[in-house]
A and B are shown apart, each in its own frame.
Chain A
């Protein structure tokens, strides 16, 4: 039997939702019929609006998805202005204040505390500079990720930016592809570093070469069915297809239509492409694509560049991210800046926008490691740019513990998360920087903290993977984390092994400290951490972790999901100011 969500989508979905959002915005939050709220909030996702969690009713998260994370001149500033004016909550966050923007692991930006009544104005202001929230959430083509320095990168083999843009223009607001069984995540990589992270996407285009009619053609190999969620991680499977840049849009459309027609609409847990590939096998996916969804003969896969993939790969050599100063193909430079857990306060963001406009082209690009890149910096401007005070914090040369930290939204706003994440990860990074030495030569060490098995922080592909859990300590339930080790992408991607479970969150920094001490002591020469983990079984690895309390202090050990806002002075759900009218005044309950 189709799910409620499928019924709601059958009734109204896609572009038609816009008019309904505008109607509700005009009439106010209270105009949404109480018995239709689940349905409307599900539909609003298609326009990038996600109702915040219980205790925060009437407030929304707004997601803006620029393909490959490319924000053209003026676009970043516009988002900052919107965050400044519209994205402020009823209470402050002790680490970040009030008013910020979050860079996500899918090269999007999320704003919180958005009021429905403001949304039409926000849509207008975003569209005015060419930005959109369309299909940023919901059951359709999500933001297309890819090389954020496409078009400027010395490592580029094929122009991934052009394909990402073409896919975006073809499949956003495209009625035939707007109602899929579940989300559809697409990645386009054009470089030899693998920064599109295609292996963890539903559909991945990866750079390849193929001999066609006596000529070497550059294009893409195609993989499908990757993803990390729900304790069922999969790497995308090779379906033995090479697509020229001209064919790639048709191949993408064919695979999206195949998923639309054959994905499971009766069980949302089983609806992702990865499960269809499990069931069918990659050969059957290819055969069905050829037989029913494209009208040309598919080529077999070409020669790929995977052996040089270094992005988020956990190996000792190669570029693991875009942080730092790097020369572009045109002789100018791009400057990759570290954004700890992806969050930028609005005042800092204004300064970054000012610097991008004063010393570079004004472009700001977003990476899948929650960082930002300023492109097109002439060599003579580099020193002046880097001397700006804001880049002490958003540094091109951060400490490895800050550089390697990723965190999802967590219980601050997210319905799914089990634990607090962003503030905790900031505190972890700070403590580790002050108290723990990395072994000689280890310059990259990735720690990803995800609040639940949805895996938005991509925990399974980090050196140290942290995943939200609970445990009991001194007789009380407390927030805890599972610890996994040794994950990474690269030529032969590997998911982390979960070797320690339910570690109280305040003992995790101590556990990481002992792990690194033991790694340094037992390491073979200059062996990378990932190699070190591969050499050992889970039992040996578990023995390397000794959770213990230290002087690290964790203020979020209580059930943060049971608060209206974990950092409020009175955080009890009963004290919530939500739901609220457009001016922020609480709406009294009927009780």
Chain B
């Protein structure tokens, strides 16, 4: 079965198979240097711009703001969950995440 991925509601949600799964307004913790110099960076996702799948991992392009230093920037490839047997398993925003590098170069 193919996976339907899209942003919804003016970028407020990531919809996976017609179900709203990942929301803006969650605070994601990102490793040092992935977004700004804060360690870790607590980043509020403000809007989703795009969504893609990298192997089994759902990655998003979003705009966010660091709650400590105030940096506002785009996040190119934030992993937000995995597809296993056509079901989506979201990652915990509070767990430290890394950014998925393109072309399979992720750590």
Interface residues of A (CB under 8 A from B): 4, 34-38, 53-54, 230, 268-269, 411, 415-419, 452-454, 468-472, 477, 501-502, 559, 561-562
* Residues A415 and B9 in contact in the complex (CB < 8 Å), given A269-B49, A470-B44: yes
- Lowest 6 CB-CB distances: which A-B pairs, in order? A418-B25, A37-B18, A477-B27, A415-B9, A416-B12, A470-B44
Is residue B13 contacting chain A, with contact meaning CB distance below 8 A? Answer: yes
From B8, B20, B26, B44, A469 is in contact (CB under 8 Å) with: B44
Residue on B with the closest CB to A560?
Answer: B25
Docked pose: A477 CA to B70 CA in angstroms: 15
Chain A CB within 10 Å — which of B9, B24, B68 has the most?
B9
Q: Is the CB of B11 within 8 A of A36?
A: no
8 CB-based A-B contacts, threshold 8 Å: A34-B18, A38-B8, A38-B15, A417-B25, A418-B46, A452-B25, A469-B65, A477-B27
Docked pose: A56 CA to B42 CA in angstroms: 28
Q: Is the CB of A54 within 8 A of B23?
A: yes
Which residues of A have CB within 8 Å of B26?
559, 561-562
Q: Is the CB of A269 within 8 A of B11?
A: yes
Docked pose: A4 CA to B13 CA in angstroms: 14
Chain A CB within 10 Å — which of B4, B17, B27, B70 has the most?
B27
Q: Is the CB of B6 within 8 A of A453?
A: no
Q: Is the CB of B18 within 8 A of A38?
A: yes
Is residue B105 contacting chain A, with contact meaning CB distance below 8 A? Answer: no
Size class of the contact patch on chain B: 20 to 34
With A230-B47, A415-B13 already in contact, 12 other A-B pairs whose C-beta atoms are closer than 8 Å: A35-B17, A35-B18, A37-B19, A38-B4, A38-B18, A53-B20, A54-B20, A268-B10, A269-B47, A418-B24, A470-B67, A477-B27
From B6, B11, B67, A4 is in contact (CB under 8 Å) with: B6
Docked pose: A38 CA to B13 CA in angstroms: 11
* Residues A416 and B20 in contact in the complex (CB < 8 Å), given A502-B70, A559-B25: no
Interface residues of B in 49-98 (CB under 8 A from A): 49, 65, 67-68, 70
Q: Is the CB of B23 within 8 A of A561?
A: yes
Docked pose: A471 CA to B8 CA in angstroms: 25
* 0/1 interface trace, chain B 15-37, chain A, CB 8 Å (1 if under): 10111100111110000000000
Docked pose: A502 CA to B15 CA in angstroms: 28
Which residues of B have CB within 8 Å of A34?
17-19
Which residues of A have CB within 8 Å of B65?
469
Docked pose: A335 CA to B8 CA in angstroms: 41
Q: Is the CB of A35 within 8 A of B4?
A: yes
Which residues of B have CB within 8 Å of A35?
4, 17-18
How far apart are B65's CB and chain A's nearest CB, in angstroms?
8
Residue on B with the closest CB to A477?
Answer: B27
From B10, B11, B67, A502 is in contact (CB under 8 Å) with: B67
